[in-house]
Amino acid sequence: MEELATVGEFGGNLKRELKKLFLLALGIKPDDALAEEFSLVASKGPNRKVGDYQCNHIMHKLAPKPSQSDFTRLIGQLIVSNFPASEMVKSCSVTGCGFINVVISSDYTAKSIENMLINGIDTWAPTLPVKRAVVDFYSPNIAKQLHVGHLRSPIIGDTIARLLEYSKVQVLRRNHVGDWGTHLGMIIEYLFEDFPGLPNDAVITIEYIEALYLKSKAKFEEDPVFKEKAKRALVCLQSGSPVYVKAWAKICEISRTESNKVTQRLQVELGEKGQSFYKPYISNMIEELTIKGLVQEIDGSRVISIQDLKTPLMLVKRDGGFTYSTTDMAALWYRLNEEKAEWIIYVTDVGQHEHFDKIFKAARKAGWLPANDTTYPRASHVGFGVVLEGNGKRFRSHRYCPTVCLVQLLEVAKTCSKTALIERGEGKEWTPKELDLTAEAIGYSMVKFADLKNNRLSSYTFSYDQMLCDKGKTAVYLHYAHARICSIIRKSGKDIDELKKAGKLALDHADERALGLHLLRFSETVEEACTKLLPHVVCEYLYGLSEQCSKFYHNCQVIGSAEETSRLLLCEATGIVMRKCFHLLGITPVYKL
Ligand code: ARG
């Protein structure tokens, strides 16, 4: 049987440690299928009066009818009487028809926090069963105008990469730029009609390229002769014809400069390996699939049929051209075999769900991925919903301000936060530089947090006014809570490192205890966010922590109280956990407000 964590080595996941105790009480072995099914929940609302965690699983399993509640209560009591002694648990009780409630020991909580203060927050990082992952995000299409959707992917993708990096996974952050599809054939063909040779640099601007995209797209749809020519241009490009490659490289370079402005503003790092990168791997990949007997010829094209899917996966078109799916199959092959990634994560809007479903199914058919989609190596599509305007319509910033819109959007956020700071009378003693940096940190973080706090699959409304509010679930509220904690520590004039060495943490007041317990839940929260790929789980946690923290400093005097040392240590631990959450969300913390 696995050892239970002792305080000294608390590696974080409280829920998991508690589960081990329950399994012991139930006599279930950790590798038993029943253990897999067993679940615990952190208590919410009125349930918090009776315990910090609840197990209601037993009742759901045993008593589908209320008439059996006497029986399940008895079972509950038996489990409690069998519960192993542990320094982690203060008490266990049964309520209702057999719900088992566990109260966590305050001493254990305090010691675990003291331990983190000494050994660092990295000791609370979750452990994942993978060493290397690819996170494929942002990935705009060359020449297409950037829109708000192009903000969601880098924001969500960056957080997912950070969550994995914190969990000691090596992450390859990939910008799978759309530099190789049909639209490039269209654009190049149109460009050559405008300018038979290449125009000079002065003519090719990003505005010109974006206009070219729109005009060539319209012509592609209306004019069958042009359509054929554009398709041929794509084949010429894909087979490496120098004139086409030269025009293509120019267009890509200008587009890249534009799209990089967005990630620079967001301070998101990622490396470009565009669709064209995988070209040299296509033919071997197709050969491998052909040898495995998966490729069929239909009307001159080569496809992979997939059970239950209406349309097959198109590998080679009739004219010899490759598709978006061909590149994704080659990229998946490369990521698994060359980059040795064990988890490949794609962050795009939900509209691409079917595309990825097809790719993953084809990869399973080829034996590249295991049949079970939760076993590694694994591929996951992280879909997100659309951004709406106040009127409930889809937010399309480029209608009002072309090209630079996304960067402008962030600039507006910064300006709004600067105005709000000045109006609130903040930073009177700050230098203009300090004001600027604070406005930037708050401005960008309010955009990021407004996005990340929603379950990514749902759509959300974009509103500067809502984001700037210092109450409710906004980044501004979080920044105030953090700055307040920092100011208490600063004003105390104490050297925290000295306090850490000698000081003792006691969690006697109800609000100290609640805050301490919330801190201890950090690890299980991050693990949940990582494994389910849901950034909003961290946002919920951070918001709850800020609320808990406000209750604490309103109800518990810190400076000058008898408990000053202990409370300062609690403030420090809260600050550390908050900053780690900010880090995971790509938010720059603010220390003074
Ligand atoms: N370029 C695509 C688009 O703008 C997104 C690419 C996502 N990644 C991938 N491997 N298909 O829709």
Q: Which atom of ligand 1 is nearest to the CA of 177?
A: 1
Query: What's the distance, Cα to Cα, between the start and end of the chain in Å?
Result: 50
Residue indicated by tokens 């660092």: 120
Q: Which range is least confidently modeled, 123-127, 130-134, 502-506, 512-516?
A: 502-506
- Pocket probe mutation, ligand 1, options 139, 148, 358, max atoms within 8 Å of Cβ: 139
Tell me the pLDDT band of 4, cut-offs 50, 70 and 90: low
- Residue whose C-alpha is closest to residue 21's, from 62, 53, 48, 49: 53
pLDDT at 402 over 70: no
For 318-363, write each residue's pLDDT tens digit: 988 899 999 999 999 999 999 999 999 999 999 999 999 999 999 9
- Specify the residue with its C-alpha closest to ligand 1, atom 9: 176
pLDDT tens per residue, range 39-52: 889 998 888 888 99
**Ligand 1 closest atom vs CA 331:** 10
Element of type H or E holding 28: none
Contact partners, residue 241, CB within 8 Å, separation at least 6: none
pLDDT above 80 (res 75): yes
pLDDT of 452 > 60? The answer is yes
Higher-pLDDT residue of 259, 60: 259
- pLDDT digit string, tens, across residues 529-582: 999 999 999 999 999 999 999 999 999 999 999 999 999 999 999 999 999 999
Distance CA 303, CA 311 (A): 10
ipTM of the complex: 0.99
Residue type, 90: K
Cα gap 364→350, rounded to integer Å: 21
- Which atom of ligand 1 sits closest to the CA of residue 328? 10
Q: What is the mean pLDDT of residues 355-372?
A: 97
Residue 398 has pLDDT above 50, yes or no: no
259 CA distance to ligand 1 middle (Å):
14
- Average confidence score pLDDT of the chain: 90
* Ligand 1 atom nearest 181 alpha carbon: 1
pLDDT > 80? residue 63: no
**pLDDT at position 1 over 50:** no
Say what the pLDDT of residue 145 is.
Answer: 82
Q: Ligand 1 pocket test: which of 352, 355, 360 has the largest number of ligand atoms within 8 Å of its C-beta?
A: 352
Check whether 213 has a pLDDT greater than 60. yes
Q: List ligand 1's pocket residues with C-beta within 6 A.
A: 136, 139-141, 176, 178, 328, 331, 346, 348
Mean pLDDT of 450-474: 87
Task: For the chain, give the percent of residues with pLDDT over 90.
Answer: 70
Per-residue pLDDT band at 66 (split at 50, 70, 90): low
228-243 confidence digits (pLDDT tens): 999 999 989 988 999 9
Q: What is the pLDDT of residues 123-159, one digit of tens each?
A: 999 989 999 999 999 999 998 888 777 889 999 999 9
Calpha distance 139→197 (Å, rounded): 29
Residue 9 has pLDDT above 90, yes or no: no
Q: What is the pLDDT of residue 427?
A: 77
pTM: 0.93
**Best probe residue, ligand 1, of 148, 153, 176 (max atoms within 8 Å of C-beta):** 176
Domains of the chain (ranges plus CATH)? 14-104 (3.30.1360.70), 132-384 (3.40.50.620), 453-584 (1.10.730.10)
The Å distance, Cα 139 to ligand 1 centre, comes to: 5
- Report pLDDT for 33: 81
**Residue 83 pLDDT:** 92
Average pLDDT for 5-22: 75
Tens of pLDDT, residues 269-294: 999 999 999 999 999 999 999 999 99
Q: Using CA atoms in the order 241, 246, 250, 252, what is the torsion angle rounded to 10 degrees? A: 30
Closest CA to 489 of 574, 589, 424: 574
Q: Say what the pLDDT of residue 21 is.
A: 92
Ligand 1 pocket: which of 172, 332, 348, 357 to mutate (most atoms within 8 A of CB): 348
Rounded average pLDDT over 76-94: 92
What pLDDT sits at residue 60? 65
* Cα of 406 from ligand 1 centre, angstroms: 18
pLDDT of residue 162 exceeding 70: yes
How many Cα atoms are found within 13 Å in the side-chain-facing hemisphere of 255? 26
Q: What is the pLDDT averaged over residues 409-420?
A: 90
Residue 302 has pLDDT above 70, yes or no: yes
* Partners of 394 in the β-ladder: 388
Q: How far is the CA of 432 from the centre of ligand 1 (A)?
A: 41
